[in-house]
Amino acid sequence: MQDIPPKHKEVFDIISQAGAAVDQKVYVVGGYVRDFYLNRIKKPENLDIDFVTVGSGIAVARKTAELLGTDHLSVFKQFGTAHIRYQNMDLEFVGARKESYRRNSRKPIVEDGTLEDDQLRRDFTINALSWSLNEENYGELIDPFQGIQDLKKELIRTPVDPLTTFDDDPLRMMRAIRFATQLQFDIEEDTYSGIKEMADRIEIISKERIIEELNKIVMSSKPSLGFAHLFKTGLLQHFFPEMVRLHGVKEVNGVRHKDNFWHTLKVLDNVAEMEGSLWLRWAAIMHDIAKPATQKFIKGVGWTFHGHDALGAKWVKRIFRRLGLPLDERMRYVRKLVRLHLRPIALVSEEVTDSAVRRLIYEAGDDIDDLMMLCRADITSKNDYRVQRYNENFDYVEQRIEEVEKKDRLRKWKNPISGDEIMETLGLEPGPVIGDIKDAIKEAILDGEIPNEHDAAFDYMLKIKDKYLS
């Protein structure tokens, strides 16, 4: 326990006193201990720290809160747990327990147990490490499954038989892959075989728990590692079959196309290298999702995927709903980027019109920069010349976007003429014709017939009004 942040040491000392005061053994467990040995505790704040006591976790938490002089204590009697928020640290307390599962239940049968019982129920050896906070052996590392050795070997391994571990809680299969991805560790051979054998057990896990782990994989520094494991173990097929169908290469008359599964993972990694948001990463995952459904071989042309952008955008909501992802503006953002991801490359000609650029800016809005980031990430050729040429093309597109936006201000476009002004000026009642006139004004602005200004739009409305009033 040397070299831990001083604030944490102070808290550990107080929790040690609290345990002694209620005559219970207390231990620091799990992720904090693991991350300490991985040198991943960079900040003394904003951390979750878990404590196990042989007895009542609530009793130790109450005494700890008293000694810390804080009332930020939450008690969950139903689960026998308690939480203290203290100086930007989240302190979680639970009594040592042992768990057993019924075959078709997601919920374990929980009983009081010893520290050994508690460590046996841990998912992986590197998460079964603990430090004693007790006077007789304060700071001693308790490592019953050689977790420190596995940290040194960069290995994910279950503390007991993998089939038992994954049968008890199938989500641990996702967690194994998530930890392997985040830490860039290998998964021990028997553990990996266990995931393959038990993959169908993931069916009993709720989509909410699965997507929580999946999003952590998506947000890792190299998410392709996790998706490759999910694919190879058979887990991915159970909750994201559309992505699995991207895999494979067909050949006709010696003409092949690229494997769209591995291409998608490369695009995802490229976005991750750009530190793209979770939802930009999901746009990368989804951008070619409809290619298998639109794949055709045309003699003299080769393989085509016409319309995969539009069809993929249509699929986004259905897939998000099934995975348990949000159906709000975040879903609409992903859908928009999937729909538009081919558009910028069509604007590389020097003869491209301002109108085409305006329409792209109008449709992408404030997400135009993210769209361009996705388009650059979509360059996965191993040919350096082709990559340079594509990037130069996108440089040109971005220059054209900047020029047109500076002149026409369409990024946050709002019609210069409101529906109320149209009704008041032309003496109209609410109805479809109001929308038709607004659309005509919008099209005139996007086509460059009139500038994006109120007076010009007003004059244009008067010019075309008879067409809509007859």
- Within this chain, do residues 403 and 451 fall inside the same structural domain, yes or no? no
Both 23 and 80 in one domain: the answer is yes
Write out the DSSP string of 117-181: HHHHTSSSGGGS-EEE-SGGGTT-EE-TT-HHHHHHHTEE--SS-HHHHHHH-THHHHHHHHHHH
Are residues 305 and 182 both part of a single domain?
no
| pLDDT given for residue 104 in this prediction | 57
Handedness of CA 212, 213, 218, 219 (dihedral sign): positive
130 and 179 housed in the same domain: no
| Per-residue model confidence (pLDDT) at position 69 | 94
Q: Is residue 334 part of a domain?
A: yes
Q: Which two tokens stand for residue 1?
A: 């326990």
CB 83 within 8 A of CB 52: no
φ, ψ dihedrals at 302, nearest 5°: 110, -155
How many structural domains is the chain composed of? 4
pLDDT at residue 106 in the model: 52
What is the predicted pLDDT for the residue at 72?
93
Closest Cα partner for 217 from 270, 154, 170, 272? Answer: 272
Q: Is the separation of the CB atoms in 323 and 282 below 8 Å?
A: no
Question: Pairing state of beta strands 155-156 and 108-112?
Answer: unpaired
Residues 6+ apart with CB under 8 A from 443: none
Its domain, for residue 377, covers 270-408
Look at residue 378 and tell me if it is in a domain: yes
For residues 399 and 303, membership in a common domain is answered with yes
Q: Which of 113, 148, 183 is the last residue of a domain?
A: 148
Closest by alpha carbon to 177, among 161, 159, 199? 199
Last residue of a domain, one of 129, 148, 167: 148
Q: What is the pLDDT of residue 403?
A: 77
- Shared domain for 303 and 162, answered yes or no, is no
User: pTM (2 decimals)?
Assistant: 0.86
Q: Are residues 7 and 108 part of one domain?
A: yes
What tokens does 70 get? 């804080």
DSSP assignment of 33-99 equals: HHHHHTT----SSSEEEEEEESS-HHHHHHHHHHHHT---EEEETTTTEEEEEETTEEEEEEE-EEE
- Tokens found for residue 169: 């809680």
Residues 8 and 143 in one domain: yes
Instruction: Judge if 178 and 294 occupy the same domain.
Output: no
For the domain that residue 217 is a member of, what is the CATH number? 1.10.110.30
Write out the two tokens for 36. 């300490």
- On whether both 181 and 221 belong to a single domain, the answer is yes
Look at residue 469 in the predicted model and tell me its pLDDT: 80
Q: What was the pLDDT predicted at 88? A: 84
* Domain final residue, candidates 132, 148, 164: 148
The DSSP call for residue 326 is -
Is residue 262 in a domain? no
Q: Is residue 261 part of a domain?
A: no
Q: What is the distance between the alpha carbons of residues 144 and 2, in angstroms, rounded to a whole number?
A: 21
Do 384 and 450 lie in one domain? The reply is no
Using CA atoms, how far apart are residues 32 and 54, in angstroms rounded to an integer?
19
**CA 309 from centre of chain:** 21
137 and 4 share one domain: yes
Percent helix, strand and coil across the chain, each to the nearest 5: 55, 10, 30
Quote the pLDDT of residue 103.
55
Could you give the residue ranges of the DSSP H alpha helices within 205-325? 207-218, 224-233, 236-239, 241-244, 260-273, 278-286, 291-294, 308-323
Q: What is the CATH number of the domain that holds 53?
A: 3.30.460.10
Give the chain's residues under pLDDT 50. Answer: none
Residue 298: count other Cβ atoms within 10 Å of its Cβ: 10
Closest CA to 223 of 236, 214, 234, 232: 214
In a domain, 255, yes or no: no
Strands 155-156 and 186-187, bridge-based pairing: parallel
